[in-house]
């Protein structure tokens, strides 16, 4: 246990009592997001990029495009790969080394939202069926951890994909030749992840670090532009009643619509 988590345990009672009254330590209401700031196209070497600030949480995403082989079961589709790095400069709890279960879960939850909502038209990324397709690498880079990495990463990944430029190309004797100019990546849906923390049997939206450290359980609900659910993930060693889950779904739909409206998606 680090010193930071000990301090939070001391505050645990205060945070929980406030939440019981519908208030939070940082002044937000239970379903309020922190301020969202987005910068895009900030890494010139990447085909697409974005940085999202969610309060003090800071996540950068870079998109790189390469050519590669399709999966045998989807010969006509490009490949989407999402990876997350919890880089050690972002938090005293992040250690250098191969991805741990937290970064793998983060990457896979963001991946599921993009993949299952069919946000990218992968069929348009096929060059030669069964042989050559475009591979989209979405690399999530957490720069500062102050809670709710999933929502920040999902927003950053979608923003980066939306400003991704694909080089124009032509196929000559099975070889890809790059032509001048760029076209945008075929993005057609805008999945938004909304994460809840359960503290003292109440749900709060967009938990920050101290709330995450004392929460019983976490629930992420990703919805698409039509309000359909495309990914759900429960995390943490607690539980939810079915009623809480269905309540969260309704709030997630409202919150995602608000965010989409604000970002013009």
Partner 1 sequence: MSQKTEKLIDKKGLRIDGRKPDELRPIKIEVGVLSNADGSAYIEQGKNKILAAVYGPKELHPKHLALPDRMVLRCRYHMAPFSVQERKSPAPSRREIELSKVIREAIEPAVFVEYYPRTAVDIFIEVLQADGSTRCTSITAASLALADAGIPMRDLVAACSAGKVEDMIVLDLNDVEDKVGTADVPVAYMPNLGVITLLQMDGILTSEEFEKAVNLAIEGCMKIYAMQREALKAKYVSVKEVEE
Site residues, partner 1 (CB under 8 A): 1, 73-74, 99, 101-102, 104-105, 107-108, 112, 115-118, 217, 219, 224, 227-242, 245-246, 249-250, 253
Query: Residue 10 Cβ, how far from partner 1 at the closest point, in Å?
Result: 15
Please, which residues have CB within 8 angstroms of residue 1's CB and are 6 or more apart in sequence? none
Nearer to partner 1, 11 or 234 (CB): 234
Query: Residue 192 Cβ, how far from partner 1 at the closest point, in Å?
Result: 15
Query: Residue 19 Cβ, how far from partner 1 at the closest point, in Å?
Result: 19
Quick one: which of 59, 210, 28, 243 has its CA closest to 143?
A: 59
Count of Cβ atoms closer than 10 Å to residue 65 Cβ: 18
Query: Residue 224 Cβ, how far from partner 1 at the closest point, in Å?
Result: 7
Query: Residue 255 Cβ, how far from partner 1 at the closest point, in Å?
Result: 14
Nearer to partner 1, 173 or 237 (CB): 237
Nearer to partner 1, 40 or 244 (CB): 244
Nearer to partner 1, 58 or 151 (CB): 151
Are the C-beta atoms of residues 199 and 215 closer than 8 Å to each other? yes
CA separation, residue 211 to residues 101, 128, 245 (Å): 20, 49, 19
Nearer to partner 1, 135 or 245 (CB): 245
Nearer to partner 1, 35 or 101 (CB): 101
First to last CA, the chain: 41
Query: Residue 61 Cβ, how far from partner 1 at the closest point, in Å?
Result: 18
Kindly state the tokens that stand for 114: 């993009």
Are the C-beta atoms of residues 185 and 136 closer than 8 Å to each other? yes
Burial profile 74-98: b = 16 or more Cβ within 10 angstroms, e = fewer: eeebbbbebbbbbbeebbeebeeee
């Amino acid at each position: 246990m680090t010193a930071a988590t000990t301090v939070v345990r001391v505050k645990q009672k205060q945070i929980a009592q406030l939440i019981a009254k519908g208030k939070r330590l940082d002044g937000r209401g239970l379903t309020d997001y922190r301020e969202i700031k987005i910068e895009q196209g900030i890494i010139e070497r990447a085909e697409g990029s974005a940085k999202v600030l969610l309060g003090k949480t800071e996540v950068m995403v870079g998109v790189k495009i390469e050519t590669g082989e399709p999966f045998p079961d989807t010969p006509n589709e490009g490949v989407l790969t999402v990876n997350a790095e919890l880089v050690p400069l972002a938090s005293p709890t992040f250690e250098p080394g191969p991805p741990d279960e937290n970064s793998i879960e983060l990457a896979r939850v963001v991946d599921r939202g993009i993949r299952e909502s069919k946000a990218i038209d992968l069929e348009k990324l096929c060059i030669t069926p069964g042989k050559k397709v475009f591979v989209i690498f979405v690399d999530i880079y957490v720069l500062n951890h102050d809670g709710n990495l999933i929502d920040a990463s999902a927003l950053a990944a979608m923003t980066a994909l939306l400003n991704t430029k694909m080089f124009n190309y032509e196929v000559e004797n099975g070889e890809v030749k790059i032509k001048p100019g760029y076209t945008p990546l075929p993005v057609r849906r805008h999945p938004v992840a909304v994460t809840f923390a359960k503290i003292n049997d109440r749900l709060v939206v967009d938990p920050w670090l101290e709330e995450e450290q004392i929460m019983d359980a976490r629930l992420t609900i990703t919805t698409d532009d039509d309000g359909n659910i495309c990914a759900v993930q429960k995390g943490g060693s607690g539980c939810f009643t079915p009623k809480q889950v269905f309540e969260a779904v309704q709030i997630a739909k409202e919150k995602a619509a608000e965010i989409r409206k604000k970002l013009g998606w």
